[in-house]
Amino acid sequence: MRDRNAPLTGADLDSLAWDKMDGLLPAAVQDRATGRLLMLGYMDRDALAATLATGLATFWSRSKQRLWQKGETSGNVLRVAAVHEDCDADALLVLADAEGPTCHLGTTSCFGGDGPQGPAWLAELAAIVARRAAAPPEESYTARLLGEGLPRIAQKVGEEGVETALAAVTRDAAGTAEEMADLLYHLTVLMRARGLGWDEVIEVLQKRHAGRA
């Protein structure tokens, strides 16, 4: 019996319940970083095999009656990090990084909404920092800070850390949250400068706390 915690591979195709829906399985695509639901498509055996082989999300188009690679005309591909089956092996979860809007209407998600909420928004913050890093320095504090190099960025993180600690004992909850927001922003800039992302940081935390109550 295969480990359901492990992503699917090409060798696992026979373990899926293709017979339940005439050879098709619903495939929900989730943004790997934010957890946002991007779209729902359908995969047959060949579409899933192509997805796993190429790393690009490929579906069975019920309207065109053929395989369809997401972004084949628009260029807005979905780069697949992993595919998992559900407990009944008759539905798929596709974890992907979207290059451009997923929806043909030009929106991030086919399901609308205001984007990631709660802690998932940190991935959006990282994307904002990445966009601002490419802006002219005279127009972007982020670009200027990155241009000043690691020592200056590290100094800012230290300053914001001290201000957060002081706010915790001298200001109310709202004021403390403001300083924490400044600290998280500057930490995100530091991650950008060091070529890191929230994934790497979270992986360290997960490893530290794996198996702990």
Q: Collapsing DSSP states into helix, strand and coil, what is residue 66?
A: strand
Residue 212 pLDDT > 70, yes or no?
A: no
Domain segments of the chain as ranges: 10-98, 118-209
Q: Is a pLDDT exceeding 70 seen at residue 199? A: yes
The pLDDT of residue 146 is above 70:
yes
* Strand 37-43 relative to strand 58-61, pairing: unpaired
pLDDT digits (tens, 9 = 90+) for 68-111: 999 999 999 999 999 999 999 999 999 999 999 999 899 889 99
Q: Find the mean pLDDT for residues 170-190.
A: 97
CATH fold label, 10-98: Ubiquitin-like (UB roll) (3.10.20)
As a whole number, mean pLDDT of residues 43-64 equals 96
User: What is the pLDDT at residue 48?
Assistant: 97
Return the higher-pLDDT residue of 5 and 22: 22
| Mean pLDDT (whole number) for 174-178 | 97
pLDDT at position 213 over 60? no
pLDDT band at 1 (very low <50, low <70, confident <90, very high): low
Cα angle: 29, vertex 33, 35; to 5 degrees: 50
pLDDT of residue 87: 92
What local confidence, expressed as pLDDT, does residue 41 receive?
A: 96
Does position 9 have pLDDT exceeding 90, yes or no?
Answer: yes
- How far apart CA 164 and CA 158 sit, in angstroms, is 10
Backbone angles phi, psi at 6, to 5 degrees: -90, 145
30 vs 95: CA distance, rounded Å? 5
pLDDT recorded at residue 35: 86
Residue 124: predicted pLDDT = 87
Q: Would you say the CATH fold of 118-209 matches that of 10-98?
A: no
Topology annotation, domain 118-209: Helix Hairpins (1.10.287)
pLDDT 10s digits, 114-133: 677 788 889 889 989 999 99
- 177, two tokens: 């949250």
Compare 186 and 123 and report the one with higher pLDDT: 186
Strand partners, 60: 67
